[in-house]
A and B are shown apart, each in its own frame.
Chain A
Amino acid sequence: MTTSLRIAFLPLNDVAVLAAARERGFAEDEGIALDLVRTTSWATLRDRLVYGQVQAAHMLAPLAVAVTLGLSQQPAALAAPYKLGVNGNMLVMARDFAAALDPDPARRLADPLGTAHDFAAAIGLWRRKPVIGVVHRFSSHALMLRYWLASAGIDPDRDVVLRVLPPSLTVEAIHAGEIDGFIAGEPWGGAAIASGRAEAVAIGERIWQRGVEKVLAFREPWLEENPDTVDRLLRALARAAAWCDEPDNREGLAEILSRADYVDQPADLILGALGGRITPRAGDAPLDCPNFVLFSREATPFPWRSQALWIYSQLVRWGMVEASPQAAAQAAAVFRPDVFRRALAGSDVPMPGASMKLEGALASPRAVGSRGGDLTLGPDRFFDGRVFDPERIDDYLEGFLQLR
């Protein structure tokens, strides 16, 4: 018997796992007919999920937390048992702004701390407050950008203008001078660079080496009522994710994503970021960024509760939600490692022994306790060296206070 599932997504490279699950037959093998619904704004994707027009969505992790906390229109308890990707964002700035930073883009990207300070100096020289496009208030991109700017003493609410802008309009907006740069998932930064208007200034992976990005989000009641379907879907996605991470499959994956049903951009542009080859400035040789985006290895899909809590800590930090033990518990409960364990128990997907960890504590790859295979976690440091202990959120937040 085949189960039909409607899943909403936005045209971005990190819809890869869902696209592969459908196009390479992994969903079909589990008896699931995947109907992938292309949407063009996070608001519409959210509404389709919250009001039951789709069963699941390719969602910004912070948006899933924000909807659950009632911060984004109609409150609804969302559940994320699976991460669709880690990393994948890039900050690009108009060429004349970037000219005030280190002229060597490779050095600029390699030293996010130095670049943040150069950025702070450049703000004063710019003809206005720099206007930086972000894809959504509750996006990993916005949280990452704020974190990075604040490290150099920049107040993102005072010293720059953060403008919400759909990724598909970013290149046009830079061209028209409406924004001075933007942070978005690929292929949009790459597209702006290829157009000659912008240069890479920072890469998400260099700000937080294993930054939480998109999740697969369900309405919690639906997730609870359909355990069998959820389990089959997660098994299909785990196989699709392994396929996506395989270097030999990248060209095929880029071809799938380039189609009008998905990202609708040239396959070459998509392939660069998938393969970790980033061209920082039009005409330059690409740089190797092997961890630019991850789909499967290092237990990428595992929804660490500590990552949901890190998002919560940042929402509190920027005054988007008031701190309370109840809100923290609600936020943590959005990520569902229990469902992940249940669905993938019999598979060869390595399973972390714990559901929380210190975020930002690993400076080098480390083998960790797991069932069902060896699991090595990659380095996950924040560029400023801070460590997030999910048991001590107040202390963590205290550490940022003197910055404001």
Chain B
Amino acid sequence: MRIVIIDDSGLRATVLEEGLREAGYDDIHIVPPRGAFVARLERMAPDVVLMDLGSPSRDTLEEMLTVSRALARPIAMFVDQSDEAMIGAAIDAGVSAYVVDGLRKERVKPVLELAVRRFNTFSRMQSELEEARTALADRKVVDRAKSILMNQRGLSEQDAYNLLRTSAMNQGKKIVDVAQALITASDLLGGGL
């Protein structure tokens, strides 16, 4: 079964491809949705096309599936139109799947399910990465605020942190916000570091 993944994001496509290979599919191709991707797709004659639901090129792909002579076969989307839970999961995960010939849906359903799982994995990875980045940035801000307090008020590191935390609790704010405010104020007052 030939599966084509249309995707801009190298990472997401790789995550999906790995999953499909582990599941025993080996005829997998990745095509970015740019330029003449429609012509490439026609030459490849895939059985299943998987695409990111957020890709602006979905309309282009659908048009091709509607009019292409090379692919003038019955098409279905989301594999089994009656399985609404599966469709909801696919939409939430951001996967759209097109079956471009008359493949039996039992054969395609596992591909779609796997794609949904991998897309979810990918978005979790993305948000974890984002969180890690934010956490790192937050820590830098807090560290800078701490050193301002240590320099200006002669506090120990622990006391500087405690002061920040208490102020945050009293104001109902996050420590990082209080720290940022302190840095801004210090910059304005020319305190610097």
Seen from chain A, the residues whose Cβ lies within 8 Å of a Cβ on chain B are 39-44, 47-48, 51-53, 72-74, 135-137, 163-166, 168-169, 176, 178
Within 8 Å by CB of B56, from A40, A137, A176, lies A40
Q: How far is the CB of A262 from chain B (nearest CB, A)?
A: 16
Binds A, one of B22-30, B81-89, B119-127, B156-164: B81-89
Within 8 Å by CB of B58, from A43, A52, A74, A168, lies A43
Whether the pair A41, B57 counts as a contact (CB closer than 8 A) is yes
Whether the pair B62, A43 counts as a contact (CB closer than 8 A) is yes
Within 8 Å by CB of B88, from A39, A51, A137, lies A51
Mark out the residues of chain B between 71 and 128 whose CB falls within 8 Å of any chain A CB in the assembled complex. 77, 81, 84, 87-88, 91-92, 96
Contact with A along B16-54 (1 / 0, CB 8 A): 000000000000000000011000000000000000011
Q: How far is the CB of B156 from chain A (nearest CB, A)?
A: 44
Whether the pair B91, A51 counts as a contact (CB closer than 8 A) is yes
Whether the pair B63, A166 counts as a contact (CB closer than 8 A) is no
Within 8 Å by CB of B77, from A39, A41, A73, A164, lies A73
Q: Which residue of B lies closest to A11 (CB)?
A: B56
Task: List the A side residues contacting B57 at CB < 8 Å.
Answer: 41, 166, 169
Instruction: Give Cα distance in the complex from A166 to B61, angstroms.
Output: 11
Whether the pair A44, B58 counts as a contact (CB closer than 8 A) is yes
- Interface SS of chain A: loop
A-B contact pairs, 9 of them (CB 8 A): A40-B54, A41-B58, A43-B96, A48-B91, A53-B91, A74-B77, A164-B62, A164-B63, A168-B56
Task: List the A side residues contacting B60 at CB < 8 Å.
Answer: 163-166
Known contacts A44-B96, A137-B66, A176-B35: A74-B56 contact under CB 8 Å: no
Instruction: Give Cα distance in the complex from A278 to B96, angstroms.
Output: 38
* Listed residue (B54, B61, B63) with the most chain A CB atoms within 10 angstroms of its CB: B63
Q: Which residue of A lies closest to B92 (CB)?
A: A53
Instruction: Give Cα distance in the complex from A43 to B91, angstroms.
Output: 12
Task: List the A side residues contacting B91 at CB < 8 Å.
Answer: 47-48, 51, 53
Instruction: Give Cα distance in the complex from A39 to B52, angstroms.
Output: 12
Instruction: Give Cα distance in the complex from A40 to B60, angstroms.
Output: 12
Q: How far is the CB of B91 from chain A (nearest CB, A)?
A: 5
Instruction: Give Cα distance in the complex from A163 to B55, angstroms.
Output: 17
Seen from chain B, the residues whose Cβ lies within 8 Å of a Cβ on chain A are 35-36, 53-63, 66, 77, 81, 84, 87-88, 91-92, 96
Q: Which residue of B lies closest to A176 (CB)?
A: B35
Whether the pair A51, B96 counts as a contact (CB closer than 8 A) is no
Within 8 Å by CB of B55, from A40, A47, A52, lies A40
Q: How far is the CB of B178 from chain A (nearest CB, A)?
A: 28
Whether the pair B81, A41 counts as a contact (CB closer than 8 A) is no
Whether the pair B88, A43 counts as a contact (CB closer than 8 A) is no
Q: How far is the CB of A131 from chain B (nearest CB, A)?
A: 11
Task: List the B side residues contacting A53 at CB < 8 Å.
Answer: 88, 91-92
Within 8 Å by CB of A164, from B53, B54, B59, B88, lies B59
Q: How far is the CB of B176 from chain A (nearest CB, A)?
A: 23
Instruction: Give Cα distance in the complex from A166 to B84, angstroms.
Output: 27
Whether the pair A51, B59 counts as a contact (CB closer than 8 A) is no
Q: Which residue of B lies closest to A50 (CB)?
A: B87
A40-B56, A51-B84 given; 6 more Cβ-contact pairs under 8 Å: A41-B55, A41-B56, A41-B57, A137-B63, A137-B66, A164-B63
Q: How far is the CB of B70 from chain A (nearest CB, A)?
A: 16
Task: List the A side residues contacting B53 at CB < 8 Å.
Answer: 44, 47
Task: List the A side residues contacting B35 at CB < 8 Å.
Answer: 176, 178
Task: List the A side residues contacting B59 at CB < 8 Å.
Answer: 41-43, 135-136, 164-166
Instruction: Give Cα distance in the complex from A161 to B190, angstroms.
Output: 64
Task: List the B side residues contacting A72 at CB < 8 Å.
Answer: 62
Task: List the B side residues contacting A176 at CB < 8 Å.
Answer: 35
Task: List the A side residues contacting B66 at CB < 8 Å.
Answer: 137
Instruction: Give Cα distance in the complex from A52 to B84, angstroms.
Output: 10
Instruction: Give Cα distance in the complex from A48 to B84, angstroms.
Output: 12
* Listed residue (B55, B60, B88, B92) with the most chain A CB atoms within 10 angstroms of its CB: B60
Whether the pair B36, A74 counts as a contact (CB closer than 8 A) is no
Instruction: Give Cα distance in the complex from A69 to B153, angstroms.
Output: 74
Instruction: Give Cα distance in the complex from A41 to B66, angstroms.
Output: 16
Task: List the B side residues contacting A51 at CB < 8 Å.
Answer: 84, 87-88, 91
In the complex, the 4 A-B pairs of residues with the closest C-beta atoms, listed nearest first: A166-B56, A164-B63, A41-B58, A40-B56
Instruction: Give Cα distance in the complex from A136 to B58, angstroms.
Output: 10
Q: Which residue of B lies closest to A43 (CB)?
A: B58
Instruction: Give Cα distance in the complex from A52 to B92, angstroms.
Output: 11
* Listed residue (B36, B59, B62) with the most chain A CB atoms within 10 angstroms of its CB: B59
Q: How far is the CB of A298 from chain B (nearest CB, A)?
A: 31
Task: List the A side residues contacting B92 at CB < 8 Å.
Answer: 53
Task: List the B side residues contacting A44 at CB < 8 Å.
Answer: 53-54, 58, 96
Q: How far is the CB of B104 from chain A (nearest CB, A)?
A: 19
Q: How far is the CB of A138 from chain B (nearest CB, A)?
A: 10
Q: Which residue of A lies closest to B54 (CB)?
A: A40
Q: Which residue of A lies closest to B66 (CB)?
A: A137
* Listed residue (A40, A72, A136) with the most chain B CB atoms within 10 angstroms of its CB: A40
Instruction: Give Cα distance in the complex from A178 to B37, angstroms.
Output: 12
Whether the pair B55, A74 counts as a contact (CB closer than 8 A) is no
Instruction: Give Cα distance in the complex from A136 to B67, angstroms.
Output: 13
Q: How far is the CB of B41 from chain A (nearest CB, A)?
A: 14
Instruction: Give Cα distance in the complex from A155 to B127, angstroms.
Output: 50
Instruction: Give Cα distance in the complex from A159 to B88, angstroms.
Output: 41
